[in-house]
Amino acid sequence: MSKLAGKVAVVTGASKGIGAGIAKALAAEGAAVVVNYASSKAGADVVVQAITEAGGKAVAVQGDVTKASEAQSVIDAAISNFGRLDVLVNNSGIYEFAPIEAVTEELYRRMFDVNVLGVLLTTQAASKHLGEGGSVINISSAVTSLFPPDSTVYTGTKGAVDAITGVLAVEFGPRKIRVNAINPGAVETEGVHSAGFIGSDFINTIVAQTPLGRIGQPDDIASIAVFLASDDSRWLTGEKLTASGGLR
Ligand code: NAP
């Protein structure tokens, strides 16, 4: 039987990459999905089309998670389109590496706004709709234990996401809502391609040090999100699942 039949999920930043993979995987298990995007309407429409052609339910909803009113309307779209909210995947994120000498206030604010404030605003908006059995999944990163050089700001944002995950697990626990993080290693996505990481020494070194010997793919992360969204993970909350092919 489908693991998520009757459930409704919001996936932020689902127009491409890991978010698109998660949206499709949740829908394949029976969830109706709000596919959020910031600017890539075409990408979000392709994801919705793939879901509906496979017999699932999805709607594309624009919204910048760094703005409270837009985060609220993304969440409200779950209620207006599908009547409830069970699963929130905080996936929207940006990454830009810079040595400490090149860190600017602008870089700090831009990355913390999307990666941290976005998680807070979207979860805040979702809070009143989530009920017993609800699941919040934060997409953090393995950088919070790997500490790659030139990543103070990015790793700082994801360290905050790990900490927020732990706090919210305690805050939401009495309401039987679970909050967990997935901490992926390198995953081949549009964002990683456009950042110029593919083929770089950085990625080649990561792959060489990865026990399973390859870069991750969005599907590798999506199946973990299905697990965390479903009752199969009912006894997990406040966890960080490192999904890196064994790289530590
Ligand atoms: P990606 O391919 O660049 O996609 C990023 C997504 O985030 C897009 O859908 C984008 O929407 C959305 N987004 C950006 N700013 C937004 C905003 N202000 N409001 C709403 N949505 C916004 O990224 P990815 O590689 O799949 O990464 C997804 C998540 O996984 C991020 O949190 C990232 O830090 C984390 N992660 C990635 C890797 C990796 O190697 N790829 C590893 C560890 C963790 P638009 O396209 O509409 O702008």
pLDDT tens column, 115-134? 999 999 999 999 999 999 99
Q: Is 157 helix (H, G, I), strand (E, B) or coil?
A: helix
Q: Position of tokens 């030139």?
A: 150
Q: Provide the token pair at 2.
A: 């489908």
Amino acid occupying residue 87: V
pLDDT value, residue 91: 99
Report the half-sphere exposure of 129 (CA within 13 A, side-chain side).
26
Q: Is 92 helix (H, G, I), strand (E, B) or coil?
A: coil
C-alpha 91 to ligand 1 mean position (Å): 6
C-alpha 92 to ligand 1 mean position (Å): 4
Distance, C-alpha 55 to centroid of its chain: 24
Q: How far apart are CA 126 and CA 169, in angstroms?
A: 14
pLDDT value, residue 82: 98
Q: Residue 198 carries which DSSP code?
A: T
Torsions phi, psi for 203 (to 5 deg): -70, -40
pLDDT value, residue 183: 98
C-alpha 94 to ligand 1 mean position (Å): 5
Q: Provide the token pair at 213.
A: 């010997």
> Mind listing the pLDDT tens digit of every residue in the chain (248 residues)?
699 999 999 999 999 999 999 999 999 999 999 999 999 999 999 999 999 999 999 999 999 999 999 999 999 999 999 999 999 999 999 999 999 999 999 999 999 999 999 999 999 999 999 999 999 999 999 999 999 999 999 999 999 999 999 999 999 999 999 999 999 999 999 999 999 999 999 899 999 999 999 999 999 999 999 999 999 999 999 999 999 999 99
Residues 6 or more apart from 128 whose CB is under 8 A from it? none
Give me the domains of the chain, ranges plus CATH numbers. Answer: 8-189+217-242 (3.40.50.720)
Q: How far apart are CA 15 and CA 38, in angstroms?
A: 8
Q: Is 131 helix (H, G, I), strand (E, B) or coil?
A: coil
R_g of the chain computed on alpha carbons: 17
Q: Position of tokens 């409830």?
A: 84
Q: Which residues line ligand 1 (CB under 6 A)?
A: 12-19, 36-40, 43, 64-66, 91-95, 114, 118, 139, 141, 184, 186-187, 189-192
pLDDT value, residue 188: 98
pLDDT value, residue 3: 97
| Torsion sign (Cα): 93, 72, 37, 218 | positive
pTM of the model: 0.98
pLDDT value, residue 98: 97
pLDDT value, residue 10: 99
